[in-house]
Amino acid sequence: MDILSLFVIVPVLTVLILVFAKDLKQARTIALIGGLVQLGMAVNLLFEYFKERALVPTSESPMLFVKDYIWFENFNIHYTIGVDGISVAMLILTSIVVLAGVFISWKIKDLPKEFFVSLIVLATGVYGFFISIDLFTMFIFYEIAVIPMYLLIGIWGSGPREYSAMKLTLMLMGASALLLVGILGIYFNSNADGGALTFNILEIAKVNIPFEAQKLFFPLTFIGFAVLGALFPFHTWSPDGHASAPTAVSMLHAGVLMKLGGYGIFRVAMYLLPLGAIDWSWFFIILAVIGVVYGALAAIRQNDLKYINAYSSVSHLGMVLVALLMLNKTAWNGAILQSLSHGFMTALFFALIGMIYERTHTRDIQKLGGLLKVLPFISAVYIIGGMASLGLPGFSGFVAEMNIFVGAFQHQDLFHRVATIATISAIVVTAVYILRVVGIMLMGPIKNEEFNDLPPSTWFERYGLYLLLIPIIGMGMAPLWLSDMILDSLTPFIARF
Amino acid sequence: MDFSSLLLMRHEFVLLAILLLMIVAEIFVSEKNKKNLVNLGIVLFAIHTAIGLLPLTEGTLFGGMYKTTVLTHFFKSVLNIGVLILLLQSGDWLRDKVANQNKATEFFMLIFSSLLGLFYMISAGDFLMFYIGLELSTLPITALVAYESLKQKSSEAGIKLILSAALASGTSLFGITMMYATSGSLYFDLMTITADNLTILGFLMFFAGLAFKISLAPFHFWTADVYEGAPISVASYLSVISKGAAAFVLMILLFTLFRPLESIWINLMYVIALLTMFIGNLFAIRQQNLKRFLAFSSIAQAGFILLGLLSVDQLGATTVIYFVMIYVFSNLGAFGVVQAISNATGKEEIGDYDGLYRTNPLLSLVMLLALFSLAGIPPVAGFFGKFFLFMAAASKGYYLLVFLAVVNVTISLYYYLLVVRAMFLRKSDTAIPYFKSKPMMKLGLIITVVGILSIGLYAPLYDYLFEISNSIFKL
B255 has a chain A CB within 8 A of its CB: no
A71 has a chain B CB within 8 A of its CB: yes
CA–CA min distance B369, chain A (Å): 12
Mutate to test the interface with B, among A110, A156, A181 (most CBs of B within 10 A): A181
CA–CA min distance B405, chain A (Å): 8
Tell me if residue B294 falls in helix, strand or coil: helix
Dist CA B81 CA B87 (whole Å): 10
Is the pLDDT reported for residue B112 higher than 90? Answer: yes
CA–CA min distance A339, chain B (Å): 26
CB contact under 8 A, B414 and A188: no
Distances (CA, A) of B153 to A199, B229, B289, B290: 52, 5, 14, 15
Encode B17-61 in three state secondary structure. Answer: HHHHHHHHHHHHCCHHHHHHHHHHHHHHHHHHHHHHCCCCCCEEE
pTM more than 0.90: yes
A128 has a chain B CB within 8 A of its CB: no
Is the pLDDT reported for residue A65 higher than 90? Answer: no
Q: What range defines the domain where residue B306 resides? A: 3-474
Is the pLDDT reported for residue A1 higher than 70? Answer: no
pLDDT band at A412 (very low <50, low <70, confident <90, very high): confident
pLDDT band at A481 (very low <50, low <70, confident <90, very high): confident
Whether B206 and B172 have beta carbons less than 8 Å apart is answered as yes
pLDDT in the model for residue B1: 56
Is the pLDDT reported for residue B4 higher than 80? Answer: no
**Residues of A in Cβ contact (< 8 Å) with B397:** 188
**Residues of B in Cβ contact (< 8 Å) with A121:** none
pLDDT tens digits, residue range A211-264?
888 998 999 999 999 998 888 888 888 888 888 888 888 888 888 888 898 899
Q: Which residue of B has its CA nearest to A186?
A: B394
Q: Which of residues 132-161 of A touch B (CB under 8 A)?
A: 136, 139-140, 143-144, 147, 150-151, 154-155, 161
SS3 content of chain B, % helix, strand, coil (to 5): 80, 0, 15
Between A367 and B335, where is the model more confident? B335
Helices A376-389, A396-409: crossing angle, 10 deg rounding = 10
Q: Is cis: bond before B378, omega within 30 of 0?
A: no
Is the pLDDT reported for residue A491 higher than 90? Answer: no
pLDDT tens digits, residue range A258-291?
889 889 998 999 899 999 888 898 899 999 999 9
B379 has a chain A CB within 8 A of its CB: yes
pLDDT band at B87 (very low <50, low <70, confident <90, very high): very high
**How confident is the model over B364-380, as a mean pLDDT?**
91
Is the pLDDT reported for residue B82 higher than 90? Answer: yes
Is the pLDDT reported for residue B474 higher than 70? Answer: no
CB contact under 8 A, A143 and B378: yes
**Residues of A in Cβ contact (< 8 Å) with B424:** 151, 154-155
B417 has a chain A CB within 8 A of its CB: yes
Average of per-residue pLDDT values in chain A: 88
Q: Report the domain count for chain B.
A: 1
pLDDT tens digits, residue range B201-254?
999 999 998 999 998 888 888 998 899 889 999 999 999 999 999 999 999 899
Q: What range defines the domain where residue A251 resides? A: 6-494
Is the pLDDT reported for residue A22 higher than 70? Answer: yes
Q: Which residue of B has its CA nearest to A121?
A: B379
Buried b (16+ CB within 10 A) or exposed e, B169-192: bebbbebbebbeebbeebebeebe
Angle at A227 between CA A221 and CA A232, to 5 degrees: 115
Is the pLDDT reported for residue A206 higher than 80? Answer: yes
CB contact under 8 A, A73 and B463: yes
**How confident is the model over B289-306, as a mean pLDDT?**
91
Whether A347 and A254 have beta carbons less than 8 Å apart is answered as yes
pLDDT in the model for residue A222: 92
Nearest-CB residue to B378 (from A77, A144, A178): A144
Nearest-CB residue to B406 (from A74, A140, A180): A180
Is the pLDDT reported for residue B59 higher than 90? Answer: no
pLDDT band at B431 (very low <50, low <70, confident <90, very high): confident
Nearest-CB residue to A184 (from B394, B410, B459): B394
Nearest-CB residue to B399 (from A71, A170, A181): A181
Provide Rg for chain A, Cα atoms: 22
Instruction: State the maximum Cα–Cα separation within chain A, in Å, rounded to a whole number.
Output: 75
Q: Report the domain count for chain A.
A: 1
pLDDT in the model for residue B2: 67
CB contact under 8 A, B413 and A169: yes
Phi-psi region of A195 (alpha: psi -120 to 50; beta: other; left: phi over 0): beta
Dist CA A227 CA A235 (whole Å): 6
Is the pLDDT reported for residue B86 higher than 90? Answer: yes
**Residues of A in Cβ contact (< 8 Å) with B406:** 176-177, 180-181
pLDDT in the model for residue A389: 85
- The percent of residues in chain B predicted with pLDDT above 90, rounded, is 44
**Residues of B in Cβ contact (< 8 Å) with A73:** 459, 463
CA–CA min distance A71, chain B (Å): 6
CB contact under 8 A, B406 and A181: yes
**How confident is the model over B330-341, as a mean pLDDT?**
92
- The percent of residues in chain B predicted with pLDDT above 70, rounded, is 99
Is the pLDDT reported for residue A447 higher than 80? Answer: no
Dist CA A399 CA A338 (whole Å): 8
The answer as to whether A1 is a domain residue is no
Q: Give the number of A-B residue pairs with CB atoms closer than 8 Å.
A: 81
pLDDT tens digits, residue range B180-210?
999 888 888 888 888 888 999 999 999 998 9
